[in-house]
C-alpha cells in the first residue's frame, strides 16, 4: 500500500514539474508587442527611415508566436515578446530621429539653394548691366562711325580717264569765334560832391600873398595868415557843387572775334547731270578733275 502511494506522489511531482515548464496560458507581452508593431507599421516615417529595425521587431514577434504555438517555455516566449516590443519602439524612435535629420539636411539644402539663386540672380543682374553698357558703347561707336566723314583717296589711279566738271558753288568755312581780351584805362566819376583840393591849395597861396602886402611887423604876419586861410576856403568851394570825385582805373574788356582763317572750302560741282560735293583745303578753280563716277581726283 505504501509503495502505491509513493508511486502516485512521484507521478504528481513529475506532472507539476512538467506544467511549470510548459506555456500555462496567453502572455500579455505578446499583445503589447503586436500593438507596438502595428503602430510602427502605420507610421510612414518607419517605412521610409527604419525599415530594417521594423523587420527585426517583426521577426522577433514571429519567433515568440512560433515558440508559444510549439508549447515552448513561458519565460522564453515572454522574453521574445518583450524584445519584439522594444525593437518596435526602437524602430519608431530611429524613424523619428532620422526624419528630423533629413528635415535639417533639406533645410540646409534649401538655404544653400536660395543663396546660390541669390548669387546667380546678382550675377545675372551684373551681366545684364555689363551687356547694357556694352550695347551703349557699341551704339555710340556706331553713331560716331556714321557721323564721321568718309575718307576718300583722291589720288589719281593709273590709266584712269579724267574729266573736267564745272564748279557751281564754293563756300569758305571759317573756324568758330575766338574770345579776345584787353585792358583799357577808364575814367570813374562817383557823382558825389567833394572838396576841391586843388582850388583850396591855389586859394591859400593867393590869399597869403595878398595878406602879406598889408601892414608890417606882426600885423603883416597876421594879415598873411588870415589871407591864406580865407583864400583856401574860397578855393575849396569853387566848383564844389558842380563836380564829384573823379578818378581812373584799369578795366578788362572781352569780346568774341571772328577769325578770318578758313578751315576748308565746301565745293559743289556738277558732273553728267548730278550734283556732287567735296571739301578742299584750297580754293578750287572754275572746274575740278573727276573720274567716270564723278569722284574728285588730284
Q: What is the pLDDT of residues 96-105, one digit of tens each?
A: 999 999 999 9
Closest CA to 225 of 209, 243, 247: 209
Q: What is the pLDDT of residues 267-284, one digit of tens each?
A: 999 999 999 988 888 888
Question: What is the C-alpha separation between 156 and 19, in angstroms, rounded?
Answer: 135
pLDDT attached to residue 13: 40
**Model pTM score:** 0.38
Q: What is the pLDDT of residues 150-173, one digit of tens each?
A: 566 788 888 889 899 999 999 988
pLDDT attached to residue 159: 84
Q: What is the pLDDT of residues 282-292, one digit of tens each?
A: 888 899 899 98
Question: What is the C-alpha separation between 60 and 65, in angstroms, rounded?
Answer: 9
pLDDT band at 195 (very low <50, low <70, confident <90, very high): low
pLDDT attached to residue 4: 41
Would you put residue 191 in left (φ > 0), alpha (ψ -120 to 50) or beta?
Answer: left
pLDDT at 223 over 90: no
Q: Average pLDDT in the 4-32 region? A: 53
pLDDT at 10 over 50: no
Spatial contact of 175 and 184, defined as CB atoms under 8 Å apart: no
b (16+ CB within 10 A) / e for 195-225:
ebeebbebbbebbbebbeeeeeeeeeeebbe
Question: What is the C-alpha separation between 130 and 136, in angstroms, rounded?
Answer: 10
Amino acid at each position: 500500500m505504501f509503495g502505491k502511494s509513493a508511486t502516485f506522489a512521484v507521478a504528481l511531482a513529475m506532472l507539476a514539474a512538467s506544467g511549470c515548464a510548459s506555456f500555462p496560458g496567453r502572455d500579455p507581452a505578446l499583445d503589447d508587442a503586436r500593438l507596438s508593431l502595428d503602430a510602427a507599421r502605420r507610421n510612414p516615417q518607419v517605412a521610409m527611415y527604419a525599415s530594417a529595425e521594423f523587420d527585426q521587431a517583426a521577426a522577433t514577434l514571429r519567433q515568440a508566436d512560433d515558440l508559444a504555438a510549439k508549447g515552448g517555455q513561458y519565460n522564453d516566449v515572454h522574453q521574445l515578446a518583450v524584445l519584439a516590443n522594444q525593437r518596435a519602439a526602437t524602430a519608431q524612435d530611429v524613424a523619428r530621429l532620422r526624419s528630423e535629420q533629413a528635415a535639417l539636411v533639406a533645410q540646409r539644402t534649401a538655404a544653400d539653394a536660395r543663396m546660390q539663386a541669390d548669387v546667380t540672380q546678382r550675377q545675372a543682374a551684373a551681366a545684364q548691366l555689363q551687356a547694357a553698357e556694352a550695347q551703349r558703347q557699341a551704339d555710340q561707336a556706331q553713331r560716331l562711325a556714321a557721323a564721321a566723314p568718309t575718307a576718300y583717296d583722291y589720288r589719281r589711279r593709273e590709266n584712269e580717264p579724267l574729266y573736267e566738271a564745272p564748279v557751281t558753288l564754293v563756300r569758305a568755312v571759317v573756324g568758330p569765334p575766338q574770345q579776345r581780351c584787353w585792358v583799357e584805362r577808364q575814367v570813374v566819376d562817383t557823382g558825389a560832391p567833394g572838396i576841391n583840393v586843388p582850388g583850396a591849395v591855389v586859394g591859400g597861396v593867393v590869399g597869403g600873398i595878398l595878406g602879406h602886402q598889408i601892414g608890417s611887423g606882426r600885423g603883416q604876419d597876421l594879415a598873411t595868415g588870415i589871407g591864406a586861410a580865407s583864400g583856401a576856403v574860397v578855393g575849396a568851394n569853387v566848383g564844389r557843387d558842380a563836380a564829384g570825385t573823379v578818378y581812373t582805373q584799369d578795366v578788362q574788356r572781352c569780346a568774341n572775334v571772328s577769325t578770318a582763317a578758313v578751315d576748308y572750302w565746301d565745293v559743289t560741282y556738277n558732273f553728267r547731270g548730278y550734283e556732287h560735293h567735296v571739301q578742299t583745303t584750297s580754293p578750287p578753280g572754275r572746274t575740278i578733275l573727276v573720274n567716270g563716277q564723278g569722284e574728285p581726283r588730284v
